[in-house]
Structure formats: C-alpha cells, structure tokens
Chain A
Amino acid sequence: MSSEIDYSCTTYYCNAGWKELLSHLSPYSWANWGIAIGLGFSVVGAAWGIWLTGSSLVGAAIKAPRIRSKNLVSVIFCEATAIYGVILAIILLNKISEPKDKVYELSDEWDFATFYFAGYGVFWSGCSVGFTNIASGISVGIAGSSCALGDAQDDSLFVKILIVEIFASALGIFGIIVGIIQSNSAQFPDA
C-alpha cells in the first residue's frame, strides 16, 4: 500500500467500475445467493411443471377415472426436480462456515484464495442446478400433460410417453451432478 493511491472519488458512484464492484462483493454474499437461486429456481420449475400436468390430469380423469393413480407419476417426476434443488441447497450450505473471530477487517493471514474460490463455486453451482431444473420442470410438465391425455384415450400409450418424461427429468439430474462437482472443493475457511 503506497501513499500514491488517490482515495477521492473519480467516478459518479465513487468506485472504479465493475471490476471493483464485483471483486468487492463478499464471498458470503455470492454463496448465499447461489443457494437461494438453486433452491428457488428448482422449486419454480417444479411448481410450473405440476401446474401444467395437474390441470390436464384432473380434466382427463373426469371421463377416464382409471388414469388417476398411474399419472401421478408425472407429478412425482416434477416434484423430483424440487428435491434436487433441496439436496443441493443442503450440500451447499454445509460448506459455508462462520469465521471463528468475528472481526470487521480480515487479517492478512486470511486465506483469501480459498475464500473467493468457495464463494464463486457455491454461487455458480447453485445457478447450474437452478436453471437446469427450471427447464426440466417445465419439460416434464408438458410431457406429463400429454401423457395424461393420451392415456385417457388409449392405455398402451402411457408407458411410451413416460419414457419421454424420463428423458426430460434427466435434464435435472445433469444439473445436480454438475452442481455437486462444481462445489466439491469449495469450502469456506474459518480461521
């Protein structure tokens, strides 16, 4: 730290631009955002999917009551995407540990490298899961709706359309696998 640094404001927002803003966001903030996004978007995707498939299921079951129990599998597939979000959120929040000394300014021996790595890792891992699960949830919802309608007319169609749904819910699994690997080596330092 030399004495040539100019501490007066040179820009309107009193910072040196995006570089300073993004690097000065606390990694704790990044990490918790990641958990929120991961969980939140997963649940949005699951809810959207259940909304789409549930309405078709209820309507079609009026004239064909036999489809009621079988087609709940579509709703369960949607629910699974929400569960992926919860699993990942729990894994991620176990990586966030409080520092032992609650000080305002971190000491110079603080492990900044691990600190920042962990913050970014947890954030983007949450994003991976969140965005893939929203797509997976909607996709399973649409396929599930068609499955209910097809099954109501002809029961041999159920298993075949279910295979389409299985592929759709695989998208959510991709997300959680990558998310777990991304956040594997991320662990917040506490000393």
Chain B
Amino acid sequence: LTASISNMSYGNADVTLGGMSTFNMQHGFVEALVRGYRSGFLKDTDYHHMTQCDALEDVKMNLQETDYDTFLNADSTVTPAIIEARALNKLVTEFFYFRANAVEPLGQFMDYITYEYMIDNVMLLLRGTLSGRNVNELMAQCHPLGMFKESTMRNIPTFEANPRGYADLYETVLVDTPVGPYFQTFLEQSSSSIGAASEVRHVLEEVQIEILKNSLMKLYLEDFYSFCEKLGGDTADVMCELLRARADRAAINITLNSFGTPLNDATMRETDRKRLYPSIGELYPAGTELLCKVDDDVKLGQAISSYPMYHAIFEKFLNSSPEEFSIDDEFYKREVRMYELAFEGQMHFGCIYAYVKLKEQEIRNLVWISECILQRRKDQITNYIPIFSSQAEWRAESTRRGVAH
C-alpha cells in the first residue's frame, strides 16, 4: 500500500513506543489526560435520570449536572439534532486538545483516527450531489473530525460519480489529502475492471458509490492495521484486535446490505463483493471465501457458524423480528465491551482510540433517549447501550457463570 505515511507527519513514524519504562516520557501526559476524561462519561444514574424526563428541557437540565455542563446554553430550543451536534462539538474540542499535546507517533495515530471521518465526509459530498443537494447544506452536515480545507470540500461535489469522474476527482482535489493514497489504490485496482464493467454489466451509480465507500474503508482499515503493527508492543496487541473486530463487522455488514441489490448477483459476488472484504480480521481468508458464495440470510448464518461470536449474534438476528432486534446494536454492544477493555493496561495508545469510539456511542445513546422522549416511545427508551456500567450485560454474564475476571 502506498498509504503509509500521511502528509501531516512531522518525523519518523517508525519510532517504537518503548515499553513500560519509556512510554511515559513522550506520551504519559496525553494518556493521563485521556484517562482523566474517562471520568466524564455519563454514569448509570445520569442515564436513569434522563430516561425519567418528559421533555427535552429536562434532559438539558440533567446534563448540566454532568461533565456536559453548559453545552446547550446557547440554544433556546432543544432538539435531538442539536443535542447531537453540540455533544459532537464537545468531543471534537477534547480530541483536538489531545492532538495538540501529542508527540509523534501518537500524533500520526490520532490522525489515522480522523481519516475514517474524512472518508465519510467525501462520501457524503459525493452522494449529496447524486441527489442534487446544495453544497453548503452538505458541508454543514460533514463530520467535524474529518474536515478538509473549505476549497477542497467545495470542489468535491462538482465531479461526476463514475470511474472517469473519480479519477479526475483524485487528480485535482484529493491527491493532497490524507485519503488520497486510498483513492489512488482504489483507482489502480478498479482500472482493470473499468473497461469490462461498464459494457458487460449495467452497474447502477448507487452500486458504484457503495463499492467506492467500502473500498476506501477497507483500504483505511488495512493501512491503520499495518501502522499499529509497526508500532509494536501493547499498542499493536490492543489496536490490532479492535481493528480486526471492525473488519469482521464490515465484512458481515457488506454482505447483509448487498442482499437485494445488484451486488448480490452471482456474477458480482465473486469479483466485486469479494474485493470489498478487508484482508484483516478473523473472517479472512476462510470466512470471506464462504461469504462470497452467500446470497441470503440463512446461508450467511451457515457461513459464519464456525465463528462463535458472530454466530451467536446472527442466531439472534435470524430468530427475531426487525422491530425488536437490530444487528447493529449487537455489534455495538460487542464493540463497547472491547473498547472498555482497551482501557485496561497502561502504556499503550488503545485508550485514545477507545475514548473516541465510546464517546461516539454515548452521543448515539443521547440521541436515542432524546428521540424516544420526543416521540413518546418510553417503552424503548432503555435500549441504549451502557458504557462503563456495572449493569452491562456482559459483566452480569461473567459473574453469573462464576468466572473470575
């Protein structure tokens, strides 16, 4: 992969982190900072108070007692969208505070965390033009952690959403951005199939965009994985495990989402869909081989039956209705558990990545609770996922089984 050194790095990214006895010299401050901010997560009691609220104004008052403090003071009316935007702003402020104090290679590590959001923003802008939306409106919706220069962002929607357009987009706009190398690799890989594809198979623009998004994410995950492996030590152990879980989740989601779209046709499964599965993760290579041949839910369940974790999640998915069960929620629960465990053990970068992801989950929780209050769906309000809670399902499970952790 050519995407190994970002254009924002200041020094040699191959510097090893040092073990227990030297990690704190460079990174002790930021790690301690992040661990201090860990105490700012909403607790069970805070969530409980919020679920008792009847109006969003009460939620705002309850949040004033927590670490969120006066984050909504500038808004006279409160809506879930505003709560989400302000909470995200809080996370972004904290993230850039950590980033400002970070030394290499932690700085580059934190930049890697933001590339995911840059990819999301690029896709948002490209998709937006397909539906003909205003570029200003789209820019207001961009994720603040992944912002480019304004001129770059305004240029993105002006390109066409087809392979020729993507090549132009890369050469003129994206080549200087950190996601440029991912685009470059994607273009190289798909150039071999451009000629054949548009003539033989009538690929919809929608499918093209899906392929682009998933390819970029795959390349990003693989790049991040190899960067963490190079860092070595505890960081490599923790981060590689987290990224493998994400890659597996991406593979399963790609397969699930492709049912009912042209990507699920027998001709496209083996070639295009197979190319989207990341080459890291437990499911690679044997699992992804099986996933290539799958075209409906039941066969998917059989394909992943030898991976107990995913099998359990998928069994639940097959046996319940979409109303009461969302496979995304189960994946989120699993990921929250892994991110909480990433805080165990000092002297590695995993806690910073886990902090960002857990804060995101907290924001999703806040939005869920606010939406339930607004729509008067009090029966579903407790379906948020608790973070650092002693009442979490997985903690209760392990004590029930009498396993000492």
Contact = CB atoms under 8 A, between A and B. Distances in A.
Tell me, yes or no, whether A binds B: yes
Interface of A: 48, 51-53, 55-64, 138, 141-142, 145-146, 148-149, 152-153
Interface string B19-48: 011001100111111011111100000000
Contacts of A58: 29, 32
A51 B25 contact: yes
Contacts of B89: none
Contacts of A56: 24, 28-29, 31-32
Nearest to B27: A55
Contacts of B39: 63-64, 152-153
A126 B24 CA distance: 29
B32 A148 contact: yes
A61 B30 CA distance: 12
Interface residues of B, number: 17
B346 interface: yes
Contacts of B25: 51-52, 55
B24 A63 contact: no
27 contacts: A51-B24, A52-B24, A52-B25, A52-B28, A55-B28, A55-B29, A55-B32, A56-B24, A56-B31, A56-B32, A58-B32, A59-B30, A59-B35, A60-B32, A62-B36, A63-B37, A64-B36, A142-B21, A142-B24, A145-B24, A145-B28, A146-B346, A148-B32, A149-B32, A152-B35, A152-B39, A153-B39
B34 to A, nearest CB: 8
A147 to B, nearest CB: 11
A66 to B, nearest CB: 12
Interface string B284-318: 00000000000000000000000000000000000
A138 B21 contact: yes
Contacts of A60: 32-33, 35-36
A145 B346 contact: yes
Contacts of B38: 153
A149 B33 CA distance: 9
Contacts, number: 65
A145 to B, nearest CB: 6
B29 A153 contact: no
B94 to A, nearest CB: 10
Nearest to A48: B21
Contact of A55 (B24, B36, B37, B40): B24
Given A55-B29, A56-B28, A59-B28, A149 B35 contact: yes
B345 to A, nearest CB: 10
A60 B39 CA distance: 11
Interface in B297-355: 346
B30 to A, nearest CB: 7
A175 to B, nearest CB: 18
A173 B40 CA distance: 40
Nearest 7 A/B pairs, CB to CB: A59-B32, A63-B36, A55-B28, A60-B32, A52-B24, A59-B29, A56-B32
Nearest to A63: B36
A159 to B, nearest CB: 19
Nearest to B25: A51
Given A142-B20, A153-B38, 5 more contacts: A55-B24, A56-B31, A59-B32, A63-B37, A141-B21
A134 to B, nearest CB: 11
A11 B20 CA distance: 47
Given A52-B24, A64-B39, A57 B32 contact: yes
B33 A62 contact: yes
Contacts of B33: 59-60, 62-63
A1 B24 CA distance: 61
A59 B20 contact: no
Nearest to B20: A142
Contacts of A57: 32
A63 to B, nearest CB: 3
Interface in B4-22: 20-21
